[in-house]
Amino acid sequence: MLSHYKNILKPPVKNLKYPFIVPGTGYLTELWGWDTYWEALSMIKAFELFGNEKMSSYGISKDTADAHICGSVLDFLDAQEEDGFIPIMVSAGGLFEGFFQEEYKKGTPLNQHLPFLCQTVLLAEEFSGSFGYDLEKLVKYMRYYEQRQYDEKSGLFFWQDDIMVGIDNNPTVFYRPDRSSADIFLNSFIFLEYVALSKILEKKNDARAYQAAAKAEKLKEAINAEMWDERDGIYDSQDINLHKTERIVKGVALHSGLAPHWKTMPLKIRFWGCFLPMYAGICRGEQAERMCKHLSDDDELFAEYGIRTLAKNEKMYSLAKSAGNPSNWLGSVWVIAHYCVYKGLARYGKTELAERLQKATFNLLNKNLEKHGDFFESYHPDSGEPFMHAGFLSHNLPVIDMLK
Provide the pLDDT for residue 37. 97
Where do the structural domains in the chain lie, given as residue ranges? 1-126, 149-243+264-269, 283-404
Coil, helix or strand at residue 265? strand
Other residues' Cβ atoms within 10 Å of the Cβ of residue 285: 9
DSSP-assigned beta bridge partners for residue 290: none
Q: What's the Cα-to-Cα distance from 211 to each of 85, 180, 194, 195, rounded to whole Å? A: 21, 27, 9, 10
What is the residue-wise DSSP string for 155-172?
A: TEE--SSSSS-SSTT-TT
Coil, helix or strand at residue 350? coil
Q: Over its length of 404 residues, how does the chain's per-residue pLDDT go in tens digits? A: 678 888 899 999 999 999 999 999 888 899 999 999 999 999 999 999 999 999 999 999 999 999 999 999 999 999 999 999 999 999 999 889 999 999 999 999 999 999 999 999 999 999 998 889 999 999 999 999 999 999 999 999 999 999 999 999 999 999 999 999 999 999 999 999 999 999 999 999 999 999 999 999 999 999 999 999 999 999 999 999 998 889 999 999 998 888 889 999 999 999 999 999 999 999 999 999 999 999 987 789 999 999 999 999 999 999 998 877 899 999 999 999 999 999 999 999 999 999 999 999 999 999 999 999 999 999 999 999 999 888 899 999 999 999 87
Q: What amino acid is encoded at 236 in this protein?
A: D
Provide the pLDDT for residue 130. 82
Q: Where are the beta strands (DSSP E) in 165-242?
A: 181-182, 228-229, 234-235, 237-239
Provide the pLDDT for residue 244. 87
Say how far apart CA 185 and CA 197 lie, in whole Å: 18
Provide the pLDDT for residue 299. 83
Say how far apart CA 349 and CA 351 lie, in whole Å: 5
Other residues' Cβ atoms within 10 Å of the Cβ of residue 53: 8
pTM beyond 0.85:
yes
Radius of gyration in angstroms for the set of CA atoms belonging to the chain, rounded to a whole number: 21
Provide the pLDDT for residue 323. 77
- Identify the DSSP state of 271: B
- Identify the DSSP state of 321: P
